[in-house]
């Protein structure tokens, strides 16, 4: 039966912005074909001051545009030059650059149209020398300056929202050389050099300082951005009075230190935290060796240290972690100091739990001069020249298979010898935002997608409501899964729609579609259906007299095995009795029908932007039944397949029992049009036609 329900939505005002006055507009090099389909596009910066947009389609690459923003965007030099990467948000690419002017340095924050490369606006200020990638949250661009200033800039217009200077222990200004991290209304920035403080927490709306953290023995500051994870901020201390470097954990709300891990190798990158572990490449210029640490994020205890890399190699960039693998790159041989050599640069994939190598990819000509970005099964990595004074060398943008390391594509700057040194930024549409592991983990700037406040807190149960330990895999879209083995999982997702596959031994594999907005953390419970019917106590796939005998043996305290007490409770009254054995025998004699879950009633109500569908399911069979109810939503009736499942409820029904379930639909997130809602049991289904929009 098909029921039609018409839902009215209040009118929505649409605001449009005119051109920004007084902005230096730059024509991109090469117009974009009007008929070109904007697919997966990678943005990267270079040492010659250009930003490039490269379209990636399978094994082929094509430059869409390049725009000169002036100066240098990132650097592969081994001196204390900054590392930066573009950040994309809502169809605009934001990038910082530095320019040498006489004996000094100036800089810009530039906003580019993601589709054409045209400059929308450019922000600069006296003494403004940005260092690190821009971070965009709630329509504001946050960026640091090397002279100790933090800026908040309107993302649409380029106008200053606020500016704050941070204090030092000397007459000199503080040095900030990393991207800000913005979480829950707080901006976290780290100091570099002889600073009074290592970490500052600022109000995101005003720039007012909330607290500052300092170690009493530190005198060199941090080399990377602060990392936020579940209420803790992690930062690096490049060198302190004991002659060692350190990794530190600080409470995000108070600035109180939680733990410190001391080590001997220099740290230049940003810590990465995933699945409860912290990962950090170490080993800088002039040091004999390098490696990657894995620490327990709660305690700082060392889990493993990976140093199976070429002798003399060093690392200044961060790692990225996806689906149980840590990806990072080395910058080549370090035997000749700051100049170095271009040989022995490698991309590594290492098992996140054990530190064992899964694969390597060698770059024979250039340095791996960026943090990898992993998205949809591909590792994107940029390579730069030996150093910025090297007359030879060509920068490359590689796409590598995340599972094997096989090269999927390569784009090289054969038209220009400068390196591609900024971490690659990936988007999937012309009006989209940065996607991939680097964004989700807050490395080198991020958007509203970071941190895990965007995603789903998922609980797996059986139809009775008991939690189930299983596996959760994101099969459509990008994100990470943490949690288990208690049946509770956190899915850290990019804004949008994702398909998730859920599996557990003894239960049917389930696909679920979830949609999340930026900054939204949903709570969802999914009931998994047993692969065996009620009464199949030995779980052999069929009902037999053996099952009735096993019930009697259990009642006699004989503890038979195998035996599933949940399935043995045939009448679903909550206890095992001789009645259950009798019901199995009656079913075998065809005196009783199996349990049958039928949709007996549906109702729809709307309040504000939420529509609630109420479903009543009753058991019309002769036995109890354990099933699931799948709630599906699609914009076409033919689209109501397994991947259209939005929620899954458990059914635990006795004979003649019934259960009422609800499904809430946020119509405010849907485009106007006709949608189809379907409720599905193992035995029955009902479809409602829903119209969104109109008066």
pLDDT tens digits for 466-502? 999 999 999 887 777 877 778 888 888 877 889 999 9
> What is the predicted pLDDT for the residue at 472?
92
Task: Indicate if 288 and 417 belong to the same structural domain.
Answer: yes
Question: What does the alpha-carbon distance between residue 372 and residue 548 come to, in Å, rounded to a whole number?
Answer: 59
- Is 496 among the domain residues? no
pLDDT tens digits for 150-201? 999 999 999 999 999 886 544 444 567 778 999 989 999 887 655 555 789 9
- Residue 6 pLDDT > 50: no
Question: What does the alpha-carbon distance between residue 288 and residue 95 come to, in Å, rounded to a whole number?
Answer: 34
Task: Indicate if 99 and 152 belong to the same structural domain.
Answer: yes
- Is 627 among the domain residues? yes
Displacement of CA 378 from its chain's centroid (Å): 14
Evaluated on CA atoms 574, 576, 579, 580, the torsion sign reads positive
Q: Which of 440, 458, 481 lies at the terminal end of a domain, its last residue?
A: 440
pLDDT tens digits for 270-288? 889 887 899 988 875 555 5
pLDDT tens digits for 628-680? 999 999 999 999 988 899 999 999 999 999 999 998 887 766 788 889 999 99
Question: What does the alpha-carbon distance between residue 150 and residue 394 come to, in Å, rounded to a whole number?
Answer: 34
Task: Indicate if 647 and 579 belong to the same structural domain.
Answer: no
> What is the predicted pLDDT for the residue at 543?
94
Task: Look up residue 381 and give its two tokens.
Answer: 């990595």
Compute the radius of gyration of the chain from its Cα atoms. Answer: 29
The most confident of the ranges 39-48, 256-265, 553-562 is 553-562
Task: Indicate if 580 and 671 belong to the same structural domain.
Answer: no
> What is the predicted pLDDT for the residue at 308?
77
- Is 307 among the domain residues? yes
What's phi and psi for 578, nearest 5 deg?
Answer: -65, -25
Confidence category of residue 589, pLDDT binned at 50, 70, 90: very high
- Is 582 among the domain residues? yes
pLDDT average, residue stretch 119-142 = 90
- Please give the mean pLDDT across all residues of the chain: 81
Strand order in the sheet with 277-282: 272-274, 277-282, 291-296, 302-306
> What pTM, to 2 d.p., does this model score?
0.66
Task: Indicate if 610 and 664 belong to the same structural domain.
Answer: yes
Question: What does the alpha-carbon distance between residue 678 and residue 665 come to, in Å, rounded to a whole number?
Answer: 12
Q: Which of 530, 564, 588 lies at the terminal end of a domain, its last residue?
A: 588
What separation in angstroms does the CA of 136 have from each of 94, 106, 478, 683? 9, 22, 19, 49
> What is the predicted pLDDT for the residue at 26?
42
Q: Where are the beta strands (DSSP E) in 536-609?
A: 597-607
Task: Indicate if 179 and 152 belong to the same structural domain.
Answer: yes
Q: Which of 401, 421, 440 lies at the terminal end of a domain, its last residue?
A: 440
Q: Which of 302, 359, 356 is nearest to 329 (CA)?
A: 359
- Is 583 among the domain residues? yes
Task: Indicate if 150 and 285 belong to the same structural domain.
Answer: yes
Strand order in the sheet with 41-45: 60-68, 50-57, 41-45, 425-427
Task: Indicate if 420 and 568 belong to the same structural domain.
Answer: no
Task: Indicate if 563 and 428 belong to the same structural domain.
Answer: no
> Angle CA(614)–CA(494)–CA(403) in degrees, nearest 5?
115
Supply the CATH number for residue 661's domain: 2.60.40.10
Q: Where are the beta strands (DSSP E) in 352-470?
A: 357-363, 367-368, 373-375, 378-384, 396-401, 407-412, 425-427, 455-461
- Is 511 among the domain residues? no
- Is 16 among the domain residues? no
- Is 116 among the domain residues? yes
pLDDT tens digits for 212-241? 888 766 555 666 788 998 889 998 876 655
* Least confident residue range of 109-113, 254-258, 440-444, 557-561: 440-444
Q: Is 322 helix (H, G, I), strand (E, B) or coil?
A: strand
- Residue 101 pLDDT > 60: no
Task: Indicate if 409 and 264 belong to the same structural domain.
Answer: yes
What's phi and psi for 343, nearest 5 deg?
Answer: -85, 165
Q: Where are the beta strands (DSSP E) in 428-572?
A: 455-461, 471-476, 479-483, 488-493, 496-503, 510-516, 521-527
Q: Is 171 helix (H, G, I), strand (E, B) or coil?
A: coil
Residue 412 and residue 396 in contact, taking contact as beta carbons nearer than 8 Å: yes
Supply the range of the domain harboring residue 651. Answer: 594-695
Q: Which DSSP symbol is given to 667?
A: G
| Total domain count, the chain | 3
Task: Indicate if 576 and 634 belong to the same structural domain.
Answer: no
Task: Indicate if 569 and 600 belong to the same structural domain.
Answer: no
Supply the CATH number for residue 88's domain: 2.130.10.10
């Amino acid at each position: 039966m098909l029921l039609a329900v018409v839902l009215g939505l209040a009118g929505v005002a649409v605001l449009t912005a005119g051109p920004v006055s007084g902005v230096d507009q730059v024509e991109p090099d090469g117009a974009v074909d009007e008929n070109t389909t904007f697919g997966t596009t990678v943005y990267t910066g270079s040492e010659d001051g250009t930003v490039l947009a490269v379209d990636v389609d399978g094994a082929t690459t094509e430059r869409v545009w390049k725009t000169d923003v002036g100066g240098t965007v990132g650097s592969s030099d081994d001196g204390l030059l900054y590392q930066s990467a573009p950040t994309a948000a809502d169809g605009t690419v934001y990038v910082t650059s530095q320019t040498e002017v006489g004996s000094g340095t100036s800089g810009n924050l530039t906003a580019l149209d993601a589709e054409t490369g045209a400059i929308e606006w450019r922000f600069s200020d006296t003494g403004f020398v940005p260092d690190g990638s821009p971070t965009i949250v709630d329509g504001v661009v946050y960026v640091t300056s090397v002279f100790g200033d933090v800026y908040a800039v309107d993302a649409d217009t380029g106008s200053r929202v606020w500016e704050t200077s941070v204090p030092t222990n000397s007459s000199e200004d503080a040095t900030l050389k990393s991207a800000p991290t913005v979480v829950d209304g707080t901006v976290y920035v780290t100091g570099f050099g002889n600073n009074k403080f290592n970490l500052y927490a600022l109000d995101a709306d005003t720039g007012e300082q909330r607290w500052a953290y300092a170690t009493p023995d530190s005198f060199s500051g941090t080399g990377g951005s602060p990392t936020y994870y579940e209420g803790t901020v992690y930062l690096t201390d490049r060198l302190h009075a004991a002659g060692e470097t350190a990794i530190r954990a600080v409470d995000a709300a108070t600035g109180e230190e939680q733990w410190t891990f001391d080590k001997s190798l220099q740290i230049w990158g940003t810590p990465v935290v995933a699945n409860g572990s912290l990962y950090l490449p170490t080993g800088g210029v002039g040091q004999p060796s390098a490696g990657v640490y894995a620490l327990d994020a709660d305690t700082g205890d060392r889990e493993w240290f990976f140093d199976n890399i070429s002798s003399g190699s060093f690392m200044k960039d961060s790692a990225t972690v996806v689906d149980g693998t840590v990806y990072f790159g080395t910058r080549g041989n370090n035997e000749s100091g700051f100049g170095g050599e271009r040989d022995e640069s490698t991309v590594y994939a290492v098992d996140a739990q054990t530190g064992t190598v899964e694969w390597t990819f060698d770059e024979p000509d250039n340095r791996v001069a960026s943090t990898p970005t992993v998205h949809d099964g591909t590792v994107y990595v940029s390579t730069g020249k030996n150093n910025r004074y090297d007359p030879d060398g060509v920068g490359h943008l590689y796409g590598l298979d995340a599972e094997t390391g096989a090269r999927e594509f390569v784009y090289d700057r054969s038209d220009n010898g400068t390196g591609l040194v900024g971490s690659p930024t990936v988007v999937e549409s012309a009006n989209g935002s940065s996607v991939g592991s680097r964004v989700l983990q807050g490395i080198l700037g991020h958007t509203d997608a970071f941190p895990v406040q965007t995603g789903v807190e998922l609980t797996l149960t059986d139809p009775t409501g008991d939690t189930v330990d299983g596996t959760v895999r994101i099969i459509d879209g990008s994100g990470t899964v943490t949690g288990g083995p208690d049946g509770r999982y956190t899915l850290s997702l990019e804004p949008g729609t994702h398909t998730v596959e859920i599996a557990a031994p003894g239960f049917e594999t389930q696909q679920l579609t979830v949609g999340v907005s930026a900054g939204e953390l949903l709570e969802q419970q999914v009931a998994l259906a047993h692969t065996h019917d009620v009464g199949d106590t030995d779980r052999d796939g069929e009902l037999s007299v053996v099952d009735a005998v096993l019930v009697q043996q259990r009642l006699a305290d004989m503890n038979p095995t195998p035996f599933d007490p949940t399935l043995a409770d045939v009448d679903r009254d909550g206890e095992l009795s001789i009645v259950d054995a009798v019901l199995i025998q009656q079913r075998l004699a065809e005196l009783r029908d199996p349990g049958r879950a039928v949709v007996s009633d549906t109702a729809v109500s709307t309040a504000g932007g939420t529509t609630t569908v109420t479903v009543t399911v009753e058991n019309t069979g002769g036995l109890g039944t354990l099933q699931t109810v799948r709630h599906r939503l699609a914009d076409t009736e033919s689209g109501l397949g397994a991947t259209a499942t939005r929620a899954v409820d458990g059914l635990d029904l006795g004979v003649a029992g019934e259960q009422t379930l609800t499904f809430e639909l946020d119509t405010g997130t849907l485009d106007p049009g006709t949608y189809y809602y379907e409720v599905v049991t193992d035995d029955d289904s009902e479809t409602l036609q829903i119209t969104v929009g109109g008066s």
